[in-house]
Amino acid sequence: MRDFMFAELICFEPACRARFAITEVLYSCPKCGGLLEATYSGEWPEPEQLKKLWRERRMDNAPLEQSGVWRYREMFPFLDSNDHVVTLREGNTPLLNAPVAARYAGLARVTFKHHGFNPTGSFKDNGMTCGTAQAVRLGMKRVACVSTGNTSASMAAYASAAGLQPIIFIPHGNISYGKLAQALEYGARTLQVEANFDQILALVRVLAERLGIYLLNSINPFRIEGQKSIVIEMLDQRDWRVPDWIVLPGGNLGNTSAFGKALRELKALGLIEKLPRLAVVQAEGSAPFYDFVRQPAGTGFVPVTHPETLATAIKIGDPVSWPKALLEVSTTDGVVERASEQEIADAKAQIGLAGIGCEPASAATLAGIRKLVAAGVMDKDADVVAVLTGNVLKDPDYIYKYHTGQLKDPHGESILANYGNSPTVVPNDADKIAALLMGD
């Protein structure tokens, strides 16, 4: 089997479709400004041969085959040498059954694909290993992103592992400590700029060009390629049984784009026969995509100027990948739902009670499922896989405040501890403690 195919970048805009060499350093189409994506040509392997090969690789101890991303590299053959790969054994995340969560949502069963099990605790690692490989291949020495979140944590780890210098730009006064701590620990040069996200992005683009820094923001097409492995691995783990629904939270909508692209390509190659429906869930205070799909056709995309949600990973007012996500949602006969801060917080506690746990943005999935089941959009016997995008320990502050009734939404309104679990202060007295525990 040939390991390498012909890869190019292609403009996503249907009216343009300009093509560029895979080794050009581009983040958007120079002709029309559209999004770029990787596209491949050549002789694709037979589907059964691929399934067998991917299974066999699980028994192989080579780092490349131990990666839950690179094991599936035939689906994103953009490199011309595997020597550029840097792997922290990303992917390999479990599919977990959660009867407690299913009951809460009104479903007979639900399965979580938990990307909080990744090396830096979020699905960003699936994409970052590919983005970093491309940076190495291009001969870059430095990589950068604008983010305080999981992207910077992941980029810092992969860049340092690859011997590149990670540079992180942070909007002033907008810091999430769990994730920032990871970036610092993984050796990222961290710059706080007195400007908002969009201003910083413009600044970083200028600096990237001037100093030869490679940008690993969510617009990077190679990160999207890597994130395709999330659904490929999920289907492999299910022996290629396609679920009825795949549910995920939507922020910048890169993951939605990656899932849809993977599913279309798997179907075109004959690895699956039908497409699951995608359900994208946004937070109510940060739901421009939810609003957009409900507008009359022909209406432009309206960003949310001041996005608000405690689920910081999906606090995005102007998602860069919305044109791709729109295609994927319509191709899969998908839906876009939204959930309130209270709904997300309660769903998160239920995922915790299932013994699983996740960060706030991830819990938007279960909150959304519950609403879709109640509305009759999702059948209660449906086969549903929800992707938990981040680890429970990413945001411990939120958890402690929720369980002790101190959590407030962005408007200062209290979020009820409906499934709260507050610690109890007890005296140093065995009888009293025994009496208390007997009462449980």
Chain residues binding ligand PLP by CB under 6 A are 122, 124, 149-150, 218, 249-256, 313-314, 359, 361-362, 389-390
Q: Least separation, in Å, of the C-beta of 362 and ligand PLP? A: 6
Q: Which does 359 bind (CB under 5 to 8 A by kind): ligand PLP, Zn ion, none?
A: ligand PLP
Q: Give dist(CA 129, CA 329) in Å, integer.
A: 26
Q: Is 31 in the site for Zn ion (CB under 5 A)?
A: yes
| C-beta closer to ligand PLP: residue 67 or 150 | 150
Q: Rounded distance, CA 227 to CA 212, Å?
A: 25
Q: Which of 29, 213, 247, 378 binds Zn ion (CB under 5 A)?
A: 29
Q: How many residues bind Zn ion (CB under 5 A)?
A: 8
Query: C-alpha 9: how far from its chain's center?
Result: 22
**CA 276 to chain CA centroid, nearest Å:** 18
User: Please, are residues 255 and 218 in contact by the beta-carbon 8 Å criterion?
Assistant: no
Smallest CA-to-CA distance from 254 within 313, 360, 168, 325 is with 325
Q: Which of 4, 5, 16, 20 binds Zn ion (CB under 5 A)?
A: 16
Residue spans of beta strands (DSSP E) within 208-365: 213-215, 245-249, 277-283, 335-339
The item of Zn ion, ligand PLP, none sharing an interface with residue 58, based on CB under 5 to 8 Å by kind, is none
Q: How far is the CB of 32 from Zn ion (least distance, A)?
A: 3
Which token pair is 72?
């599936």
Cα–Cα dist 8/24, whole Å: 9
In the complex with Zn ion, the residue whose CB is nearer, 9 or 407, is 9
220 binds, among Zn ion, ligand PLP, none (CB under 5 to 8 A by kind): none
Work out whether 11 is an interface residue with Zn ion (CB under 5 A). Answer: yes
For residue 413, give the DSSP letter. P
With CB under 5 A as the contact rule, which of the stretches 9-17, 72-80, 109-117, 163-171 interacts with Zn ion? 9-17
> Are 308 and 338 contacting, i.e. CB atoms less than 8 angstroms apart?
no
Q: Are 348 and 358 contacting, i.e. CB atoms less than 8 angstroms apart?
A: yes
Which string of x and - marks every residue 33-72 that binds Zn ion (by CB under 5 A)?
Answer: -x--------------------------------------
Which residues are at the interface with Zn ion (CB under 5 A)?
11, 13, 16, 18, 29, 31-32, 34
